[in-house]
Copies of this chain bind each other. A is one copy, B any other.
């Protein structure tokens, strides 16, 4: 077969896979937003059905044959052409998929769907004993998966690779370890400062319909296209890219504090902007897909923190918020800005401030690395969790729900995902610094409500690129430098020195 025809076959084959995936994405969205309790076993069976179907399609030996026809042909001569990028990623995915028998893929789909449901109710009841056996099952399956996928002598590497192509436990540990001391030092300095924000000003009657309206306005203003999106409620906020023109976010509401719903929604908006900015003409192909979860998280964390917690942003939006929540009318903007940037070691990662956030992630990275590496077992997790909380944040969770059971990731089988959050922070700061260099101080744009220039910079340099470059290459390409946590540390040092008068 001629390479051109083989390539065409690969495009069609993978686009159809992507269509099935987009169906799976809807099942997942529904499971977390609307599915009634009674429907859980049907949902698990639906996931298993699609997993079986996709397993057959992603391991189809014809993929290997067709790739063979294209690789080495002139079609892929230019390494960064659309064709070459697709072929590179298809090969990567095929080599991984081949190693996983259908029975294992189906079992993981079924058990992780069940485990996630068990987590939902067990977390509410703070019932570790009820949850642990489910988690144990999924850990066993993921260990098996990791073992089969391994290309290094560290099985966990292969789980990371799924979310962060090119990274290993070692490469991640190397970069994260450089942050522990600066972040701990900054946290301590902040805690000892005589200046502390009054966070109680963030609390007051916050009717949910007002929060919803406010969130629609702000997310739309920063660039989220609601004609191709939708905002729902879920207990753990997430973004679901169901397909071209259908990128949904969720948030969660507290009746006495709009801030949680708002910042969660902006976090998810960051993910959604990336997904909405991918080139639709390459939909369903690597060239049109997000390259890694760290790049994804760089966007969510950047929009949530570097933008939506900046002074410029609130120069723009504070009057609107005061309008919605009259109890803020007597609170000066500077006090509000200080309060939403309060740094304090806490139990919950998703509620953590920018300074302590990476410490939460480092803890999870170390635990899952040990868990997949069989250095610890599920039964050891609660104690190990609490020890590390004490070590990194100096506090001990009062219960499981605020400790080891707080996140959805492990129950859904997403081992290897957590490091992406911390890497995302690092990417975000480095991108942000470069964007500021290129287009001028972003805050002056935000202050005027002009998000366009900033969004365009990301649209052009990152979103529209899909998976053209691997994450570390993007940063190299854009900034001329290697990925470097110093941008994050500098940003934090500068911002918090000013806020806390350090």
> Which A residues are closer than 8 A to B by beta carbons?
16, 19-20, 22-23, 26-27, 30, 34-43, 45-46, 49-50, 53, 225-230, 232, 242-246, 248
Q: Which of B36, B53, B232, B244 contacts A246, CB < 8 Å?
A: B36
Name 14 extra pairs, CB < 8 A, besides A34-B230, A36-B248, A42-B242.
A23-B23, A26-B26, A26-B27, A26-B46, A30-B30, A36-B228, A36-B230, A36-B246, A37-B227, A37-B228, A38-B227, A38-B245, A39-B245, A53-B53
Say yes or no: B50 contacts A226, CB within 8 Å: no
A17 to chain B, nearest CB (A): 10
A55 to chain B, nearest CB (A): 14
Known: A23-B27, A23-B50, A27-B23. A40 touches B230 (CB 8 A): no
Q: Which of A38, A43, A50 has most B Cβ within 10 Å? A: A38
Interchain residue pairs A-B with the least CB separation, the first 5: A39-B246, A38-B245, A38-B228, A42-B243, A39-B245
Q: With A and B bound together, what is the CA distance between A248 and B38 in angstroms?
A: 11
Q: Nearest CB to that of A48 among chain B residues?
A: B19
* Contacting residues, chain B, for A246 (C-beta < 8 A): 35-36, 38-39, 42-43
* Contacting residues, chain B, for A242 (C-beta < 8 A): 39, 42
Say yes or no: A244 contacts B41, CB within 8 Å: yes
Say yes or no: B227 contacts A46, CB within 8 Å: no
Q: With A and B bound together, what is the CA distance between A245 and B35 in angstroms?
A: 10
Q: Nearest CB to that of A228 among chain B residues?
A: B38
* Contacting residues, chain B, for A225 (C-beta < 8 A): 38
Q: With A and B bound together, what is the CA distance between A248 and B35 in angstroms?
A: 9
> Chain A contact residues: over half helix, strand or loop, or mixed?
helix
Q: With A and B bound together, what is the CA distance between A125 and B482 in angstroms?
A: 55
Q: Which of A39, A45, A242, A245 has most B Cβ within 10 Å? A: A39
* Contacting residues, chain B, for A230 (C-beta < 8 A): 34, 36
Q: Nearest CB to that of A16 among chain B residues?
A: B49
Known: A30-B30, A230-B34. A23 touches B46 (CB 8 A): yes
* Contacting residues, chain B, for A43 (C-beta < 8 A): 243, 246
Q: Nearest CB to that of A283 among chain B residues?
A: B42
A285 to chain B, nearest CB (A): 15
Q: Nearest CB to that of A15 among chain B residues?
A: B45
Say yes or no: B39 contacts A243, CB within 8 Å: yes
* Contacting residues, chain B, for A50 (C-beta < 8 A): 23
Known: A34-B230, A36-B226, A229-B36. A49 touches B19 (CB 8 A): yes
* Contacting residues, chain B, for A245 (C-beta < 8 A): 36-42
Q: With A and B bound together, what is the CA distance between A225 and B53 in angstroms?
A: 32
Q: With A and B bound together, what is the CA distance between A30 and B29 in angstroms?
A: 11
Q: Nearest CB to that of A245 among chain B residues?
A: B38
Say yes or no: B49 contacts A227, CB within 8 Å: no
A-B contact pairs, 6 of them (CB 8 A): A36-B229, A38-B227, A38-B244, A39-B243, A42-B242, A53-B53
* Contacting residues, chain B, for A244 (C-beta < 8 A): 38-39, 41-42
Say yes or no: B26 contacts A45, CB within 8 Å: no
* Contacting residues, chain B, for A42 (C-beta < 8 A): 22, 242-246
Q: With A and B bound together, what is the CA distance between A46 and B22 in angstroms?
A: 8
Known: A39-B243, A230-B36, A243-B39. A46 touches B19 (CB 8 A): yes
A341 to chain B, nearest CB (A): 33
